Structure 1
Amino acid sequence: MVTIARSDDLAMVGANGGGWAAPLGTAQPLDPRNAPTSPWLALGTISDDGLTTAFDEDSESFTGWGQSAPFRTVITSSVRTFQLTLWETRRPIVRSIMFRQDLTALDPDVEGIVTFAESATVTPDRRSWIFDIYDGTLWERIYVPEGEVTDRGDDTAKQDEMRGFEITITAYPDAANNTIYRSYLAPELDEVNS
């Protein structure tokens, strides 16, 4: 009988996590084991649906004359998106993201009241993003140097539902032509090779 190699140390559950946003062009922190600090702002509580990373790719296949299988396939489009629901809807950075507002536009007046208007003309609102995924002592960090909210869910205020802002962020290429940078704690080689 064949022995199948299995190791729960090589599996990961997205048991917990967090997100941060910063002005476009903000570099990721040097040590991914620490929470980001200013100018990074925490997105607060994310719904129990967690973080979904979507891979949307298109390709073109080329099949030779007289053949029934392609001999070459070219990826013509490769888009990465991140979807999450932000539950701390009163957090200024969350309002800034949802309603495309500069943070300074959300400063309260002397009476503590915040007032802003949503424009009929949408302007680009690119930011830098960090998403951390935790499973006990295991972690993974995703850094998006240039990303923009390209889809927003409905804003529902209902008695038996937590109000949340559902957003989808699309990653764009940076100056080095990279859309995402990933960091994680590498497994021990003897775990991988056994």
Structure 2
Amino acid sequence: MAGSIDAPRLWEGADFYTGPVGTALPTSLATAMSTVPAWKAAGLLSEDGASESRDEDSTDFYDWRGQLIRTKRSKHKRQIKVTCLEDNLVVFGLVNGSGSTFTTDSETSVNTRTVKAPKSEKLSFVLELEDGGITRRRHIPTGEVTEVGEVTLGPSDLQAFELTITIYPSVDGTLYVDIDNDPTNVAA
């Protein structure tokens, strides 16, 4: 049987970070994301993990005999969905976008949130996954929160913020870059 039982991954831990577009990524997995102050952690994530979706149009072309000779692919779209469990300042910013504010009165410790209609705001994102001693950092240089799921405010469900991040390609077409220390994926 071909293959290795060491190759499949079960990502048992994850962290999700955001920062301004152009924020430098640590060049080594040994360097914690927290060493770059511009990267802000979103806090606890749902046990459901993250999911990646792909969508694109395709048009098939046939010759006179009805045989498929070519397929044109276009309008490729890639998204990542994460569910944040904390209602912290980072998540507040992702959910409500620029223009919304969060202030605290230093004398009374009363917080005031002013939520405004969201505007388009491109950011950088990192999803860091862990499986034992294996770490994978997925760096999305440019993306945007394009959808926020329904937020339940009640006694029977945990408040959670499901975020859909649409990934925008760079000039050379790069959507994201994964760096990892997985010994089963060594390039020859």
TM-score by length of 2: 0.88
Q: Does 1:141 align with 2:137?
A: yes
Whether contact under 8 Å (1:95, 1:101) holds in the other structure is no
Partner amino acid for 1:88?
E
Aligned to 1:39: 38
1:80-119 alignment to 2 at 5 Å? Answer: 80-89=78-87, 91-101=88-98, 105-110=101-106, 111-119=108-116
Q: Determine the C-alpha separation between the residues in 1 that align with 2:31 and 2:153.
A: 35
- Point out where structure 1 has 5 or more consecutive residues left out of the alignment: none
Aligned sequence identity (%): 26
Q: Determine the C-alpha separation between the residues in 1 that align with 2:99 and 2:116.
A: 12
Q: Matched residue of 1:97: which SS?
A: helix
Q: Does 1:19 align with 2:16?
A: yes
Whether contact under 8 Å (1:19, 1:131) holds in the other structure is yes
Root mean square deviation, CA, Å:
2.2
Aligned to 1:153: 149
Q: Determine the C-alpha separation between the residues in 2 that align with 1:168 and 1:14.
A: 20
Whether contact under 8 Å (1:22, 1:128) holds in the other structure is yes
Q: Determine the C-alpha separation between the residues in 2 that align with 1:27 and 1:175.
A: 18
Shift in CA distance, 62/106, structure 1 to aligned 2, threshold 3 Å: same
Is the strand fraction higher in 1 or 2?
Answer: 2
Q: Determine the C-alpha separation between the residues in 2 that align with 1:43 and 1:54.
A: 21
Partner amino acid for 2:12?
A
Shift in CA distance, 29/114, structure 1 to aligned 2, threshold 3 Å: same
- Note the alpha carbon deviations across 1:136-190, whole angstroms, 9 max, x for none: 012211101111011111110121211101110000123443221111224358x
Q: Matched residue of 2:151: which SS?
A: coil
Q: Determine the C-alpha separation between the residues in 2 that align with 1:71 and 1:5.
A: 33
- Point out where structure 2 has 5 or more consecutive residues left out of the alignment: none
Shift in CA distance, 67/182, structure 1 to aligned 2, threshold 3 Å: same
Q: Matched residue of 2:73: which SS?
A: strand
Q: Runs in 1 of length 4+ with deviation above 6 angstroms?
A: none
Query: Deviation of residue 13 (structure 1)?
Result: 0.8
The more displaced of 180-189 and 140-149 is 180-189
Shift in CA distance, 102/114, structure 1 to aligned 2, threshold 3 Å: farther
TM-score by length of 1: 0.86
Aligned to 2:76: 78
Query: Deviation of residue 115 (structure 1)?
Result: 2.2
Of 179, 183, 187 in structure 1, the residue corresponding to residue 179 of structure 2 is 183
Whether contact under 8 Å (1:20, 1:41) holds in the other structure is yes
Q: For this pair of structures, how many residues does the alignment match?
A: 185
Partner amino acid for 1:145?
P
Q: Determine the C-alpha separation between the residues in 1 that align with 2:4 and 2:187.
A: 8
